[in-house]
Amino acid sequence: YAKAHGKRRCVCFSPEILGERARELKLVELLRASIENDFDGFSLCYQPQIDTNSGTVTGAEALARFQCEEFGAVSPVEFIPLLEKTGLIIPMGKWVLWTAATQCKNWMAIDGDFVMSVNLSYRQIDSDSLVPFIEDTLQETGLPAKNLVIEMTESYFASDEDPVRTVFDQIRSLGVRVAMDDFGTGYSALGMLKKSPADIVKIDRMFVTDVQASTFDATFIKFVVELCHDVGIEVCLEGVETDGEYAAVSAMGLDYIQGFLFGRPYPPDEFRRRFLP
């Protein structure tokens, strides 16, 4: 445990840490059991993405949820890293993609242009079976590639490792778009956008939080939009919660907005009722 948290730090085994560790072990056990039991306890919620030009819902981001008797609803911020650590993200990530693709195909009967965004973990990139699985999923669900977006955290785009870039290129050559998630939180330079294999950049919500007070944050968003548009990348802003925030960014030329102001992540039935005609 101490090692994983940096060599210099001394970690004492306080009751608190033991409690955390016990919860983690129990949770991993429950996650594993759920996966083995046909993903019982897992579900997907869908958050609307708004096209700023038309002002309409253009699609949704699929967000994983986990519910169990012991701990109630557990946040993906907690369980996704555990799935990554244990390798369980491989089967679970496939389930997410399959479920979201099926849902998208279903909603396309109502809105033929509906686009589904699905998060991908770096651990899935490592797996040889990823690209064939995406291809099979499209084929078997009947979802056209252009209606799918794969979201991946910013830092993996910065990687100079060829295998990572190759996978992005392969995904894109299927016709699936790739989005760079949480942009601005990592260590990557803006300059990498020029050679980036991304179709969409999603600016992290930390830039929206202070957009009204901070000249830096407002300038950052405008600058990223300009730079991305120059090289043909679309831009989505995440985390718009208030009318004031929306007013501050509405003239910045963003392509998409995603945030609680327009809608939270909802279970499929509720998403359909709220956002589809």
147 to each of 2, 105, 116, 160, 239, how far by Cα in Å? 44, 9, 6, 28, 23
Give which of 205, 146, 161 is closest to 181, Cα–Cα. 205
SS3 (DSSP) at 15:
helix
Site string for Mg ion, 11-50 (x = CB under 5 A): ----------------------------------------
Contact between 203 and 240 (Cβ < 8 Å): no
Site for Mg ion in 80-99 (CB under 5 A): none
- 10 Å CB burial of residue 276 (0-12, 13-18, 19+) is middle
Pick one of 27, 35, 63, 237: the residue that binds ligand C2E (CB under 6 A): 63
Confirm or reject binding of residue 258 to Mg ion (CB under 5 A).
Answer: no
Provide the token pair at 89: 């993200």
- Residue 47 per-residue DSSP state: E
Least distance from C-beta 118 to ligand C2E, angstroms?
7
Based on CB atoms, which residue is closest to ligand C2E, 85 or 230? 85
Least distance from C-beta 118 to Mg ion, angstroms?
8
Based on CB atoms, which residue is closest to ligand C2E, 230 or 250? 250
164 to each of 156, 158, 167, how far by Cα in Å? 7, 10, 5
Of the candidate spans 16-24, 80-88, 118-126, 207-215, the one that interacts with Mg ion by CB under 5 A turns out to be 118-126
Pick one of 239, 248, 271, 275: the residue that binds ligand C2E (CB under 6 A): 239
Pick one of 60, 64, 125, 224: the residue that binds ligand C2E (CB under 6 A): 64
Confirm or reject binding of residue 181 to Mg ion (CB under 5 A).
Answer: yes
For the chain, the residue count is 277
Based on CB atoms, which residue is closest to ligand C2E, 181 or 228? 181
Based on CB atoms, which residue is closest to Mg ion, 70 or 113? 113
Task: Compute how many residues bind Mg ion; rule: CB under 5 A.
Answer: 7
- What angle is formed at CA 236 by the lines to CA 234 and CA 237, rounded to 5 degrees? 145
Q: In the chain, what is the straight-line distance between the N-terminal and C-terminal CA atoms, in Å? A: 51
Task: Compute how many residues bind ligand C2E; rule: CB under 6 A.
Answer: 23
Of the candidate spans 27-35, 115-123, 134-142, 213-221, the one that interacts with ligand C2E by CB under 6 A turns out to be 115-123
The CA distance from 34 to 40, in Å, is: 5
Confirm or reject binding of residue 259 to ligand C2E (CB under 6 A).
Answer: yes
Q: Cite the beta strand spans of 22-122 per DSSP E.
A: 42-51, 56-68, 72-74, 115-119
- Residue 51 per-residue DSSP state: E
Contact between 125 and 156 (Cβ < 8 Å): yes
Confirm or reject binding of residue 119 to ligand C2E (CB under 6 A).
Answer: yes
Chain residues that interact with ligand C2E, rule: CB under 6 A: 47, 63-64, 75-77, 80, 96, 119-121, 151, 181-182, 205, 238-241, 258-260, 265
Residues forming the site for Mg ion (CB under 5 A): 58, 113, 119, 151, 181-182, 238
